[in-house]
Structure 1
Amino acid sequence: MTLKTYPLICTRGVIIFPDQEVVIDVGRPASLAAIENAQDNHGDLICLFSQKRMDLEDPGMDDLYEVGTLCEIRHVRRFDKFIRVKFRGLERVRLKKWVDNGTSDMGEVELIPNQRQDETEEVALVRMIAQAFEQMHPGEKFMSKELMMELSRGVGADVLSDKAVQGFPLATERKQEYLETPGINDRLVMLLQDMEKEKKMSEVEKKINETVKERIDQGQKDYYLREKIHAIKEELGDVAEIDKDVENIRKRLDENPYPEYIKAKVRDELSRYEILPPASGETGVIKAYIDWLMELPWWQVTKDNEDLNDAQKILDEDHYGLEKVKERIMEYLAVKQMTNSLKAPIICLLGPPGVGKTSLARSVARALDRKFVKMSLGGVRDEAEIRGHRRTYLGALPGRIIQGMKKAGVVNPVFLIDEIDKMASDYKGDPSSAMLEVLDPEQNSVFSDHYIEENYDLSNVLFIATANYLENIPPALQDRLEIIQLSSYTDAEKVNIAREHLVPKQLKENGLTPEQLHISDDMLLYLVRYYTREAGVRQLERTIAA
């Protein structure tokens, strides 16, 4: 066994066979040094071995396949950061030892000659391969003109077994098996097997194409491609693996207690979504609609705080006075606890600015242990803001009520409708008329949004509206509201609110401690009487902050 030493290059996924020419871009420092070494000291001879893993930057002997190719450097073209080299394969070689001479990688290799086997069998195999090539379609991707010319000239079995492989669409591991097989007849048998496999693959593809063409019209190119994928999946027995989005939505429908009419609606929309081409503008509209139906709360609910004393304590902590409002909330809780089911009242807190209407609504949510959502109606002039846009419009969205319910994530939040007296009407419709259905306890169990198109139950929502002026609320809307008047605070109440709430809040916001600043009740009363003249306490808070 004669060993010879040559410079060595590690390739990524490139297998070179004897009598084959390949162009490779070389950029690794060790590989560049090996090229220089081969040109200067080894008569342009160099060995190429393929890596087992392509992601390795600095492979060692254990990371290479044992069998590679001794090559001749035919041409070198230099660029800034790499060189482009044309190699010609000469012989199969087996790597025996890795040698690092300090400048480039070297390898001690043993030449692997071709092994002639049974000559009669060899002739028969060559004839069978030639016949197999003749039966193949001329358009096959591995049927190169060069190979057909070689076959017509009567190429030798050893050259044929290598030449034919280089054009075949084979995995790197399979090509390496050809390189590691010295027996010519063995390689010819492998080639016949792969040709037979390729022939069957072509037949399957043809069958898939025919199946697809029967299903669809010629003009629908996008639809054709998608049906082709379906047919491929059918051939593989892999039909269950449908689009991930659709599968996830179906799974959510099955696993969660959505109302039956919503499940039916979503399934109908999914059927349309699946058959539309991905590039169609309607797919985005349908997907957005399905997402809204799925994300809306249909059954999710929070458990109310059943402890009346605890609820009373929270209301007293957050607000001084306002006894009438607190009493109404406590009555609602008590009746609900007794009956275990009660339609939520529609409360409207009426009073001048700054008396704590909005903050009281937050406290109610905290006392009930419910989610809190706010919607401001100041300046709303479009009915679609309440009821949503129809899906036929570009960029359509549900109304603010449905958006608020999605944000809450439950069917029984405390929903604050702020500034209900500030709505206006114009040519786009009357939003106050749309609010009639929302705020009617007898109708809001079947609230209809133009975008959602399905009935939505708002009867479990505790709506709290706020307004400054009763006369600005339309009479029909007033009739549906339980008006609770919040009158202006007395001087004594303002002093109490300032001492218990406003002063501690402003000390914290201005980075002070109670020890650093103390404001007496007399000083607070002086501020109330001579610096602020208002119903609420907003100006008083600003004065304390100053």
Structure 2
Amino acid sequence: MTEVKRTKDIPLLPLRGLLVYPTMVLHIDVGRERSVAALEHAMLEDNLIFLVTQKEMSIENPTPDDLYTVGTVAYVKQMLKLPNGTIRVLVEGLNRAKVVDYRDGEEFAVVEIENFEDSKTVDAETEALMRTLLTYFEKYSKASSKVTTETYDTVADIEEPGRFADMVASYLPLKITGKQEILKIIDVKERLEILIQRLHDEQEVLNLEKKISSKVKRAMEKAQKEFYLREQMKAIQTELGDREGKTGEVSELKKKIQESGMPEATLKVAYKELDRYEKLPAAAAESGVIRSYIDWLVALPWKEKTEDRHDIKMAEKVLNRDHEGLDKVKERILEYLSVRQLKQSLRGPILCLAGPPGVGKTSLAKSIAEALNRKFVRISLGGVRDESEIRGHRRTYVGAMPGRIIQGMKKAGTVNPVFLLDEIDKMSNDFRGDPSAAMLEVLDPEQNNSFSDHYIEETYDLSNVLFVATANDLSTIPGPLLDRMEIITIAGYTEQEKHEISKKHLLPKQLKEHGLSKAQLQIRDDAIIDLIRYYTREAGVRGLERQIATLCRKAAMQIVAGDKKRVVMAAKNLEDILGKHRFHYGQAETENQIGVATGLAYTTVGGDTLQIEVSLTPGKGKLQLTGKLGDVMKESAQTALSYVRSKSEDLNIDPEFFDKHDIHIHVPEGAVPKDGPSAGITMVTAITSAITKRPIRREVGMTGEVTLRGRVLPIGGLKEKTLGAHRAGLTTIILPKDNERDIDDIPDSVREQLSFKIVSNADEVLEIALDGGEI
């Protein structure tokens, strides 16, 4: 049973960050004036003082609310003044006490307290609690370095339960709040139970600390081992010739990998390869292979992106500045920009600019990049026949490199460039694979977000790239590849467009390249028109640019020789400089011809006219075809002849005529291969003219396939063929009825100068084309 006694007017000494249990003997340094006054008063009286702990250490002059209510009555055994003014006292804790009344004096505080004396009676329950606590304290003393064997022996010899509990509590690593919780427990048994629980918890913590310490020690040993091995490796590398080792190089590569922005999966591969590279000696062959691979990984753009220019007016201005005409292409680009402005995430379209050489397909792609404010990169696919050119070589091969797509992305430096695939129609295949099949993944918006290169191996996102392909002949592109692209046809330029291109683009460019100024050379408009009409006949402007370059060279020579300071080129002196006219502008024929019909053809260099000649000789009805015709044109000739024979009666042809005459059909320029399903009605007209002796109108050009019944079938490339006819000077074009819708694609300036005759049957063709018929 705990005894309670009341004591009046005992000096109060507040403690900061410190708590004293009964039976404890320790030194306390006292510096506050009120605390010193309380000590001096205690020394003058009975050496007793009440020690109580502050709740907050920072408070200089605590009030009753800042102090705990339960403290320890202590006996001041010794007091010593130190040189710095602080008093060091030796105190011994006597018993617990609780503040009943608090009086704040002028020099120090005085309290009235209730004293609690611990019961010294030890019953069976108390004995059991003491033994259990001693067992836990023994385990704790063995696990903790803070409790020595002598301390444990001292505690084990204590027989009084209250003193025993307080002594154990004084050695526990508890915070002030925890110690205060134990101090305020008056009942000895309850105090023993709490201490057992605290020691049990502390034992768990010590076990965890031990495990953590063991793990840290193992990690430290591993780190030390690795450090030692690395130092050894450096020494070996130095002996092998790598004087500086790879430390600096590896650190630099690691930094580049961290800053590259690679996806998580690729990042793991890069670090793994870097680790392999670090462990290999510099002389090892594989070391260079791994280094090249890491260099490619960090050089590729993974997150660098340019901001698209969404200013439609500005983009339109750029496109119009660089190119005349090409309205359809410009409209498609502006549509793309408009959609991007409304919806930020739009996969890059796959555009294919198809048309003859020299019409500006490549330069148009550059203008698209400038209009979008994107980087521009070009690769030429002409002559590519190895799949590895596209997908790259596997790293197992000597000299392996990524494919052209990955190389182009490295060159671009951003994930969203305008990527020009030049001459995609000129890829071929052999035993090394089919590169056009490899292009299927590149040009498929549904797949190219995870493009796989054999060298890089990790997937690469191409979905932000705007691919622009160019082609001269779509017929040579495999169907699956063609299906993945949006075809935009560039047929060629009209005479008026060529004139504007010469003045705005070609002439200023050539003047600059030849070191001439506008004041030194002037090419008049009539000279440019003559260049277009009589010295070039093409869909594009490449030949025209060469002729302008010739004029610049001639002018430069005259200026350097001192003959002239300013040269003016006019139409009248072109023959003296460039020679006689190479082409004839005006009617394709100077007069109507019998057995000679003008067809319209589509070639890789644009539209052109095609003369089909028919000659009759006595014979046995043999059909002879010359001019290096393809199978399709040969069948068209046979079909045309069969149709004319079926119409013998309507055309007043003697039925026996075909048995007594051989028919020879020839297409001039016999060295040039010719084929295509659009010469049927031209052959019908030429054969009929030759047999009936009726001339064919010289200003008429025609295109369309014919059936045995005389039905005229539609053809392709009407715009290109019409431009070719216009360049040749034809004024009347016969075309199938199903192609009537394509007339709208023809430029207005050309359409206004031509007369289109829509036919659905060969009889209508003959009425229009043969002289004496209706037109």
* Same structural fold, with TM-score higher than 0.5 when normalized by the shorter chain: yes
1:504 maps onto 2:511 in alignment: no
Q: Give the drift of 1:263.
A: 1.2
Task: Map Cα deviations across residues 380-421 of structure 1 (whole Å, 9 max, x no partner).
Answer: 010000000000001100000000000110000000000000
**Structure 1 position 270 matched with structure 2 position 277:** no
Deviation at 1:228, TM superposition (A): 5.1
Look up the equivalent residue of 1:426 and give its one-letter code: D
Once residues 450 and 256 of structure 1 are traced to their aligned partners in structure 2, the CA distance between those partners, rounded to angstroms, is 21
Does the 8 A contact of 2:310 with 2:340 survive in 1?
no
* 1:240-319 equivalent positions in 2, closer than 5 A: 243-319=247-323
| Contact 2:385/2:434, CA 8 A, preserved across alignment | yes
Deviations 1:3-33 (CA, angstroms, capped at 9, x unpaired): xxxxxxxxxxxxxxxxxxxxxxxxxxxxxxx
* 2:399 corresponding residue in structure 1: 395
Equivalent position amino acid for 2:463 in 1 = S
CA gap of 1:256–1:422, structure 2 versus 1, over 3 A, is closer
- In the alignment, is residue 463 of structure 1 matched against residue 467 of structure 2? yes
Amino acid paired to 2:513: E
- Which residue of the partner structure matches residue 440 of structure 1? 444
The answer (yes or no) to whether the contact 2:353–2:488 under 8 Å persists in 1 is yes
CA distance in 2: counterparts of 1:509 and 1:387, whole angstroms: 38
Counterpart of 1:348 (choices 346, 352, 360) is 352
**How far apart in 1 are the matches of 2:390 and 2:383?**
13
Q: Quick check: 1:479 aligned with 2:483?
A: yes
**C-alpha distance 501-266 of structure 1, shift in aligned 2 (>3 A):** same
In the alignment, residue 226 of structure 1 is paired with which amino acid? M
Which residue is 2:423 aligned to?
Answer: 419
Task: Judge conservation of contact 2:354–2:471 (CA < 8 Å) in 1.
Answer: yes
| Aligned counterpart, 1:369 | 373
Is 1:378 paired with 2:385?
A: no
Distance in 2 of aligned mates of 1:490 and 1:251: 57
Q: CA–CA distance in 2 between the matches of 1:365 and 1:432?
A: 25
Distance (whole Å) between structure 2 residues aligned to residue 278 and residue 503 of structure 1: 57
Question: Any idea what SS the aligned residue of 2:539 has?
Answer: coil
SS in 1 for 2:352: strand
Q: Secondary structure of the residue that 1:328 maps to in structure 2? A: helix
C-alpha distance after superposition, 1:345-378 (max 9, x if no partner): 0000000000000000011111111110000000
CA distance in 2 between partners of 1:416 and 1:508 (Å): 27
Q: Which of the residues 226, 229, 246 maps onto 2:233?
A: 226
Decide whether aligned partners of structure 1 residues 445 and 487 sit closer, same or farther in structure 2, where only a CA change above 3 A counts: same
Q: Deviations over 1:427-482 (max 9, x none)?
A: 00000000000000110000000000000000000000000001011001010000
SS of aligned partner of 2:544:
helix
| AA at the equivalent of 1:386 | I
Cα separation, 2, equivalents of 1:284 and 1:351:
45
Deviates more, 1:264-273 or 1:424-433: 264-273
Q: Does 1:541 align with 2:548?
A: no
For the residue of structure 1 that corresponds to 2:345, the secondary structure is coil
Flag the 1:468–1:242 CA change in 2: closer, same or farther, 3 A: closer
1:83-119 per-residue CA deviation (whole Å, 9 max, x = no partner) reads xxxxxxxxxxxxxxxxxxxxxxxxxxxxxxxxxxxxx
Secondary structure in 1 aligned to 2:537?
coil
Q: Secondary structure at the match of 2:414?
A: coil
Distance 1:523 1:249, change over 3 A: same
Q: Distance in 1 between matches of 2:516 and 2:261?
A: 52
Q: Name the CA distance, whole Å, in 2 between partners of 1:473 and 1:536.
A: 22
Deviation at 1:254, TM superposition (A): 3.2
- Aligned identity (percent) is 62
Q: Distance in 2 between matches of 1:522 and 1:381?
A: 47
What 5-or-longer segments of structure 1 have no aligned partner? 1-210, 217-222, 231-240
**1:256 Cα offset (Å):** 4.6
1: distance between equivalents of 2:295 and 2:425? 33
- Write the deviation string for residues 135-189 of structure 1: whole angstroms up to 9, x where unpaired: xxxxxxxxxxxxxxxxxxxxxxxxxxxxxxxxxxxxxxxxxxxxxxxxxxxxxxx
Alpha-carbon distance between aligned partners in 2 of 1:414 and 1:256, rounded to the nearest angstrom:
21
Q: Secondary structure at the match of 1:518?
A: strand
Task: Identify the residue that residue 324 of structure 2 maps to in structure 1.
Answer: 320
3-state SS of paired residue (2:437): helix
User: Distance between the aligned counterparts of 1:509 and 1:276, measured in 2?
Assistant: 53
Distance 1:516 1:224 in 2: 73
TM-score (normalizing by structure 2):
0.40
What SS does the corresponding residue of 2:507 show, helix, strand or coil? Answer: helix
1:251: Cα distance to partner?
A: 2.2
Alignment of 1:2-401 (within 5 A): 226=233, 243-401=247-405
> Quick one: structure 1 residues 516 and 255, their matched pair in 2 at CA, closer, same or farther if it must change by over 3 Å?
closer
Query: How many Å separate the matches in 2 of 1:517 and 1:284?
Result: 57
Q: Tell which deviates more after alignment, 496-505 or 468-477.
A: 496-505
Task: Give 1:495's aligned residue.
Answer: 499
Q: 1:526 aligns with which of 530, 533, 536?
A: 530
Q: Which residue of 2 aligns with 1:23?
A: none
1:517: Cα distance to partner? 2.2
| Secondary structure in 1 matching 2:491 | coil
One-letter amino acid of the structure 1 residue matched with residue 377 of structure 2: V
How far is 1:266 from its partner? 0.7
How far did 1:224 drift? 9.6
CA offset at residue 324 of structure 1? 0.4
Residues 1:306 and 1:445: Cα distance change in structure 2 (over 3 Å): same
Tell me the distance in 2 between the aligned counterparts of 1:452 and 1:387: 9
Say whether the 8 Å CA contact 2:246–2:278 is kept in structure 1: no
Q: Distance in 2 between matches of 1:374 and 1:256?
A: 24
> Which secondary structure state, in structure 2, belongs to the residue aligned with residue 390 of structure 1?
coil
Please report how far the alpha carbon of residue 242 of structure 1 lies from its aligned counterpart in structure 2 after TM superposition: 7.1
TM-score, scaled relative to structure 1: 0.56
CA distance in 2, matches of 1:336, 1:530: 46
Q: How big is the alpha-carbon RMSD for the aligned residues of Structure 1 and Structure 2?
A: 2.2
Letter matched to residue 438 of structure 2: A
Q: 1:448 to 1:358 in 2, by over 3 A?
A: same
How many Å separate the matches in 1 of 2:363 and 2:391? 27
The alpha carbon displacement at 1:258 in A equals 2.4
Q: State the Cα distance separating 1:522 from its structure 2 match.
A: 1.9
Where in structure 2 are there 5+ consecutive unaligned residues? 1-223, 238-244, 551-775
Name the CA distance, whole Å, in 1 between partners of 2:537 and 2:260: 56
Q: Is the 8 A contact 2:260 2:301 kept in 1?
A: no
Cα distance in 2 for partners of 1:457, 1:395 equals 25
SS at structure 2 position matched to 1:264: helix
- Letter paired with 1:479: D
Q: How many residues align?
A: 320
